Structure 1
Amino acid sequence: MTTTGEALTDRVTGLTGDQVAERVARGQVNEVGERTSRSIGEIVRANVLTRFNAILGALFVLVLTTGSWADGLFGIILVVNSAIGITQEYLAKRKLDRLALLHAPTTRVVRDGQTLDVPTREVVLDDLIELRAGDEVPADGVLLTSEGLELGEANLTGESDPVHHPAGDEILSGTSVVAGSGRYRAKAVGRDAYVNRIAAEARKFTRTHSEIQASVNTLLRYITWIIVIALPLQVWSQWKVVGEQGWQAVVIRSAAGVVGLVPEGLVLLTSVAFLLAAVQLTRDQVLVQQLPAVEGLARVDVVCLDKTGTLTVGEIAFEDARPTGDADPEVVRCALGALADDPNANGTLAAVGAALDSPGWQRTATVPFNSQRKWSAACFVDHDTWVLGAPEVLLAEQDTLRDEVVELARRGRRVVLLARSTQPLTEPVLPDDLTPAALVTLTEQIRPDARATLDYFAQEGVAIKIISGDNPQTVAAVAREVGLEPGDPIDARTLTDDPDDLRDILRRTMVFGRVSPEQKRAFVHALQADGHVVAMTGDGVNDALALKDADIGVAMGNGAQATRAVAELVLLDGRFAHLPKVLAEGRRVIGNVERVANLFVAKNAMSLVAILAAALAALPFPFLPRHLTLVSMLTIGTPAFFLALGPNRQRYLPGFLRRILRFAVPSGTIAGLAVIASYVLSGRGHGVPPEEFSARCEIARPGAALDLACVQPSTGATITLLVVFFWILVVLARPFLWWKALLIGVMAVLALLAFVLPAGDAFFGFHAPWTLVWQSLAIGLVGAALIELLHRWAHRRDAGAARVTP
């Protein structure tokens, strides 16, 4: 009696359209719900619904209720920031989703009696799937028919030899068809399939750690608590000083201080830097599935590689045929060409056929290659029987050729034996009179860019560990061909499970062979325990957990679905040579975000110092919100946007947050003290003395007149702040390029116009007699000189740290 699935899945016609639609409606499809980007709703929420947007939004509404529209300018910038973030991420989402869709695999299914190619994610339960050489097995199932079907199961087991599967065998997703063909019924799809269950298990581990994001989040926590403490202090102090002018004056002065404490563009520019780096890498066929991976690779100091598919292209090439005994070299080459002239040639014969022409011999019988027999054979009219296979199978135990085979294998060659017989073959049994004719050597094709890539990592101080399931000597030979000095390779089967021993061995060994999937994961853990940041490349399901446990997992685009699903980076064309570009992008992001963060944190520190000083000295807060909006836009927000996206080749050094706090907090403190000094001196020497300010200088309402002397202290403080922050910008923009000089020059001109143009004076409420200008500039220049000294001290300290970093 047949099962329900077998009844529904006819061996010839497959499912009907109605049956497919029914399974789609029940969700029995091969979709696992993975995606490379956030939904539009998530993008909008992430860019709009933030704690700082809530703070600034509330202040914006309060300021508007006072009638001082000019002081609500920061609210417009808030909206623009959110809009930029949403737009940038949406455009990046479209590109990433399009790229992921472009590389989505397809599967051959039989429906309504017709063979169709459908996206693998649209395969449904009970589908009749047709397999041919080169196909990936997309779902678990049971073979209905098999015509010499052999599956490569290295992705699951780590074993390189293909496995023969007759009809009735259960086959698993994540394997690939090496030879033959067959049809099977899908009995487990989507999350129920074996390969996806492994991927789901791997996804339980921690997502990619980002020092930048962790540091920015820490900063945001600090700043949040500072705002919680500073807000009531600011309101209380301004109520005492300008409370007689009404609640509107208190709101406006208080808002100015709190707005200065909010790093409104820091999170936006950090996200934009990650996103645009990810989009840039798609042009180089690198799919970034977790944005922090761009940064993460820049922190990596150990890269674990597999030989096949990374250092080599994963294909073998014919090198030579060495006749043995009295064999004729020309006959040997003709025999090899004739054997390779086979429509069902395996990988070895395909490599031979690519190098040697067929002599046109007439084939009378064929024994196809079988991974259990490890040989293939063919009979030809007037040319005897020729056999090609593993030397250890075809050679006698005492044959001296075995020593030569061992030596060739030690030098990294793959060796097969060509033998001949006068007996015709009628079944897959070796003839008695088998005589060796030639040792055929094949080589793995080294990737042409492998040497340059490894040289780059060596120059950057990144250690290489080659971890392979192949013979250690063979792996070491390949390592030598790409310019490495592998030393003595180790057979991983001889290693113990002791973590301390493993850490010691990994410190002094580069090449490991016969490594099991479990050992790959143990290697990652041992390197991490030794303080390393580890990247690992892989293409098989057996690599999935090791890739996920590594700090950065890099999957090959032609690898198993489970491996691609859990990796942070996918090399879509399988070229290891893209990794230096990823590392360069990571460095650019780290260096530029550090610059940007310094600008924002310096502004926060300045505002806090000004709030505290104003409260202690019973002064009005030196600025109106419009003044800080001008300073933020010209010396922080706009320059930060361009600096965050520019090139940066600075090598990574740990201590991102520590360096920011070491420079930005003292810089902000210097700026805050300079501002207070300028405000007090401007009031006493040019404007209204601070003690008379509350009584004489009510904040102007729209259309109301205001004594110009009342705006001179804030004008002087703004000039001083602009000078100090422009110098902070100059310091952080080094080394200078033409576009940076142009950027700072344009911002300085715009700042000057705000004071020179009548419209700028009227909008910002500036009044600056020349004596006030020179005094404010002088105080600002003192602050700039202190900033320069601080920068040089921090630079020397960082340079010293870089010299002692291994």
Structure 2
Amino acid sequence: MTERADTDTDANPGTDPEVDPEVDTEPEVDTATGTGTAPAAREPGLSSAEVARRVERGEVNDVPVRSSRSATEIVRANVLTRFNAIIGGLFLVILVVGPIQDGLFGFVIVANTAIGVFQELRAKRTLDNLAVIGEAKPTVRRDGRSTEISTSAIVLGDLIELGPGDKVVVDGRTAEADGLEVDESLLTGEADPVLKQVGDEVMSGSFVVAGGGAFTATKVGREAYAAQLADEASRFTLVDSELRNGISRILKWVTWMMAPTAVGLIISQFTVEDHDWREAVRRTVGGITPMVPEGLVLLTSVAFAIGVVRLGRRQCLVQELPAIEGLARVDVVCLDKTGTLTQGGMDLTALRMLDGAGEDRTRRVLAALGRSDPHPNASLQAIIDACPPELAEGWRGADTLPFSSARKYSGAALTEPDGTTARWLLGAPDVLLPEGHAALAEVDRLNDEGLRVLLLSRTEREVDDPDAAREVVPQALVVLEQRLRPDAADTLRYFAEQDVHAKVISGDNAVSVGAVAGKLGLPGAQRPVDARRLPAGRDEMARVLDEGSVFGRVTPQQKRDMVGALQSRGHNVAMTGDGVNDVLALKDADIGVSMGSGSEATRAVAQIVLLDDSFATLPSVVAEGRRVIGNITRVATLFLTKTVYSVLLALLVVFWQIPYPFLPRHLTLLSTLTIGVPAFFLALAPNKERARPNFVRRVMRYATPAGVVCGLAAFAAYLVARQHYVGGGALDAETSAATLTLFLMEVWVLAIVARPYTWWRIALVLAMVVGFLVVLAVPWLQRFFALKLVGEQVPWTAVGIAGAGGVVLEFCWAWVRRRDDARSAS
């Protein structure tokens, strides 16, 4: 007897459901289908009135779908930062001592923060809209009818139907079971599916791998395990990224360097400028402010946010932000043939009779098998389309065995109208037939043509007997043709051009998979590997995987093992798939990519969901990740060069006991022209360079020598100017000469970072130079920024020092690049 989770009286949430006495649970024969297992009557589920009462009592699965941080969290994360606090404090100091020109850096920080908040809120809107599109839609039975609803509309006691690939969205108890096998590996770590009987508990976060049934919701909302799972697994996040972790590490180093340097600078400036404390404060703030790489975190967030928006326009849901970065680092992409290289649906093209079987009866058997499975997969659906249920009028099915990717066949006991009963299996020929069987030669020939072949056979054993596939009597080969995705060939070609190795991993026959991959131009497709002959050891398996491109007859556990073997060789692995047999591999891969029409289970564990099922979207994701990583590496070099020379200048000033060379307004001007504005454009520019590891080490290898050279050149120009203008009290002239040198050095660094040149990159660098010249040429701007070049000797000396520094910069840059290239080659 099945049970129903509601009564006419109020019930406490989470209590055991009671039997409704009005429900007729006497067994009856399903006359609509003709199957004669005399199952219990179809449970009608809750009535509309009962649902309304549950909603009124608050017994609703009201856990909101969160694909991003809340608006409050976004504002807090962008405003309340350590460096914003430092810069804000310095800005308040300048407001006290004046003039306002020296507080321009404060307004820049406000503008930058506003841009960051706006871009992330924009990305949030995109993600929230996409999350609604990609949200699981469970089927519930209410008033005797099956209806798809949103997960948040489930109420306590709802009867939720399950089929292969469906995710269990709330906790419950099994009410109906027809060969129902549930994978609980995401909860327990155990990969073996669990056979569920009526009355067994099912937990949210698990998913169906075979069979079907229904369960009654016993825990909803925040009481269900799904609430915790959704909150942790599907939240849009900015953590666990090498890029962001690297930047955080750099910022910690900067904080530790700033503290002692700032103390020394404060003491030295108040000692040197003891006659003018306001000037001492301004010079101190001028020395501390540029140490903060204030725009680096902002630009990283902006670049990622814009990437999310761009991908969202292509119907690509990024469930975890680092996935953009991760896919850019991928060098091996494992593709499941079905749903990735081929699109949904197949066509039955031929029946090849074996051992004198009649085609007419065979079609009736296939029609009866199709009708006996309430949850047909793509192969069985193609058979149903060619052999409609009407052909099996009067046939009855019993003891149905759903298809499982692990055993690779399905079955049923069928009773014909004359009362004859036979047990039938439908599945992979090379699994059901012994090696060397004559029919396998025909199977191989058909597989060579890229066709999919199933075997229909009889067995004398019970269909659920583990040895049911032994000693079968073959009846017919069922030949199916798969539909190739029109964009698959171009996508594979793109990966080849980008030096990303594609591996096709499928549960189908290896030769057949190789034929399909060969049609799409995949290198190595002519040498497919049967996974049943793969070595068990991880090292040996990794060697075979490195050499091969196509692998067939792969079990779900093998897919997982293959991902691990590739990772053991240092590969960054992406796995694509749409079926439940892909879940384990998707979970273990560095990046999991699911098709939008795939099972709920695959969408739950994947970091990226292609909502329009377009495999051609993957190159866009790779390109977006490479753009983000490559460009952030560029702009990080600019920001950290400034930090290095600022710390060096502060130390030199403390050692020489002289006034700090710059006021805050000078460094704000230089930062805007050589870092802020150019970095914004460079961070959003196209970039196809493959992402490389060790972000922090690579950036610091460039920024450290560049910062040292810039700092020494500016300080040398300052000392020359002080010597030349000695006794004249021309502090503005000394500062102006040092500012000219530092600007030329920073523009040189910008010109190096902007390589390889395009017309717009050259225009960007020239525009920054023109901007500085305008400041020097316009009298009121000269006064505003306190810049005045006095005479000719010192300004030209400053230019000469910058030229010599540029030559040293080029040498350092070339030396570091050679070492980087040598490391990459090794």
Q: 1:268 aligns with which of 288, 298, 319?
A: 298
How far apart in 1 are the matches of 2:626 and 2:415? Answer: 57
What are the within-5 Å matches in structure 2 for residues 340-419 of structure 1? 346=376, 347-348=378-379, 350-352=381-383, 364-367=393-396, 370-371=400-401, 374=411, 402-404=439-441, 406-408=443-445, 411=448, 413-416=451-454
How far apart in 1 are the matches of 2:357 and 2:144? Answer: 53
Q: 1:783 aligns with which of 791, 797, 805?
A: 805
Shift of 1:558: 3.0
**Equivalent residue for 2:30?**
none
Shift of 1:555: 2.7
Q: 2:97 aligns with which of 66, 73, 78?
A: 66
Shift of 1:86: 0.9
Q: Does the Cα contact within 8 Å between 1:339 and 1:349 map onto a contact in 2?
A: no
Shift of 1:183: 5.8
Shift of 1:76: 0.9
RMSD: 4.6
**Equivalent residue for 1:547?**
586
Shift of 1:775: 3.3
**Equivalent residue for 2:631?**
592
SS at match of 1:265: helix
For 1:24, give the aligned amino acid.
G
How far apart in 1 are the matches of 2:113 and 2:560? Answer: 41
**Equivalent residue for 2:311?**
281
How far apart in 2 are the matches of 1:390 and 1:123? Answer: 37
Task: Give 5+ residue unaligned stretches, structure 1.
Answer: 421-433, 697-708
**Equivalent residue for 1:792?**
814
Which deviates further from its counterpart, 544-553 or 601-610? Answer: 544-553
For 1:674, give the aligned amino acid.
A
**Cα deviation 1:453-491 (Å, max 9, x = unaligned):** 233323333233444444555544544444242546243
Structure 1 residues 192 and 399 mapped into 2: Cα distance closer, same or farther (>3 Å)?
farther
**Equivalent residue for 1:739?**
760
Structure 1 residues 459 and 212 mapped into 2: Cα distance closer, same or farther (>3 Å)?
same
**Cα deviation 1:50-107 (Å, max 9, x = unaligned):** 1111111111111221132211111111111111111111111111111111222333
**Cα deviation 1:377-436 (Å, max 9, x = unaligned):** 8999xxxx9x9956979999999763445435754643346899xxxxxxxxxxxxx999
Q: Does the Cα contact within 8 Å between 1:198 and 1:562 map onto a contact in 2?
A: no
TM-score, normalized by length of structure 1?
A: 0.81
How far apart in 1 are the matches of 2:806 and 2:750? Answer: 10
Shift of 1:721: 1.4
For 2:619, give the aligned amino acid.
P
**Cα deviation 1:349-375 (Å, max 9, x = unaligned):** 642576x699x9987434469446736
1:440 aligns with 2:440: no
How far apart in 2 are the matches of 1:100 and 1:597? Answer: 32
How far apart in 1 are the matches of 2:688 and 2:438? Answer: 54
Q: Does the Cα contact within 8 Å between 1:409 and 1:473 map onto a contact in 2?
A: no
1:49 aligns with 2:80: yes
1:255 aligns with 2:285: yes
Shift of 1:539: 3.9
For 1:577, give the aligned amino acid.
A
Structure 1 residues 376 and 485 mapped into 2: Cα distance closer, same or farther (>3 Å)?
farther
SS at match of 2:345: strand
1:213 aligns with 2:244: yes
SS at match of 1:742: helix
How high is the sequence identity, in percent, across the aligned residues? 42
Structure 1 residues 133 and 52 mapped into 2: Cα distance closer, same or farther (>3 Å)?
closer
Structure 1 residues 672 and 419 mapped into 2: Cα distance closer, same or farther (>3 Å)?
closer
What are the within-5 Å matches in structure 2 for residues 182-261 of structure 1? 184-189=215-220, 209-246=240-277, 248-261=278-291
1:640 aligns with 2:662: no
Shift of 1:14: 1.0
What are the within-5 Å matches in structure 2 for residues 508-547 of structure 1? 508-539=547-578, 543-544=582-583, 546-547=585-586
1:491 aligns with 2:531: yes
**Equivalent residue for 1:75?**
106
**Equivalent residue for 2:46?**
14
Q: Does the Cα contact within 8 Å between 1:234 and 1:611 map onto a contact in 2?
A: yes
Shift of 1:541: 5.7
How far apart in 2 are the matches of 1:416 and 1:749? Answer: 72
**Cα deviation 1:672-729 (Å, max 9, x = unaligned):** 12211222222333x4x2xx58xx5xxxxxxxxxxxx331111111111111111211
Q: Does the Cα contact within 8 Å between 2:182 and 2:195 map onto a contact in 1?
A: no
How far apart in 2 are the matches of 1:669 and 1:51? Answer: 26
**Equivalent residue for 1:650?**
689
Q: Does the Cα contact within 8 Å between 1:294 and 1:583 map onto a contact in 2?
A: yes
How far apart in 1 are the matches of 2:229 and 2:808? Answer: 57
How far apart in 2 are the matches of 1:193 and 1:394? Answer: 41
**Equivalent residue for 1:295?**
325
Structure 1 residues 215 and 165 mapped into 2: Cα distance closer, same or farther (>3 Å)?
closer
For 1:374, give the aligned amino acid.
G
How far apart in 2 are the matches of 1:398 and 1:591? Answer: 52
Q: 1:729 aligns with which of 741, 750, 765?
A: 750
Q: How many residues align?
A: 758
Shift of 1:638: 0.8
How far apart in 1 are the matches of 2:85 and 2:616? Answer: 45
Q: 1:672 aligns with which of 693, 711, 724?
A: 711
Structure 1 residues 526 and 201 mapped into 2: Cα distance closer, same or farther (>3 Å)?
farther
TM-score, normalized by length of structure 2?
A: 0.79
**Cα deviation 1:497-551 (Å, max 9, x = unaligned):** x544544554445455554544444433333332222222344566555434432
Shift of 1:253: 0.5
**Equivalent residue for 1:699?**
none
Structure 1 residues 671 and 590 mapped into 2: Cα distance closer, same or farther (>3 Å)?
same
What are the within-5 Å matches in structure 2 for residues 100-111 of structure 1? 100-110=131-141
Structure 1 residues 250 and 400 mapped into 2: Cα distance closer, same or farther (>3 Å)?
closer
For 1:736, give the aligned amino acid.
Y
Q: Does the Cα contact within 8 Å between 2:209 and 2:581 map onto a contact in 1?
A: no
Shift of 1:439: 3.6
**Equivalent residue for 1:757?**
778
Structure 1 residues 446 and 7 mapped into 2: Cα distance closer, same or farther (>3 Å)?
same
Q: Does the Cα contact within 8 Å between 2:331 and 2:501 map onto a contact in 1?
A: yes
For 2:46, give the aligned amino acid.
G
Shift of 1:658: 2.6
Structure 1 residues 152 and 759 mapped into 2: Cα distance closer, same or farther (>3 Å)?
farther
1:608 aligns with 2:639: no
SS at match of 1:763: helix
**Equivalent residue for 1:700?**
none
Structure 1 residues 711 and 299 mapped into 2: Cα distance closer, same or farther (>3 Å)?
same
Structure 1 residues 556 and 62 mapped into 2: Cα distance closer, same or farther (>3 Å)?
same
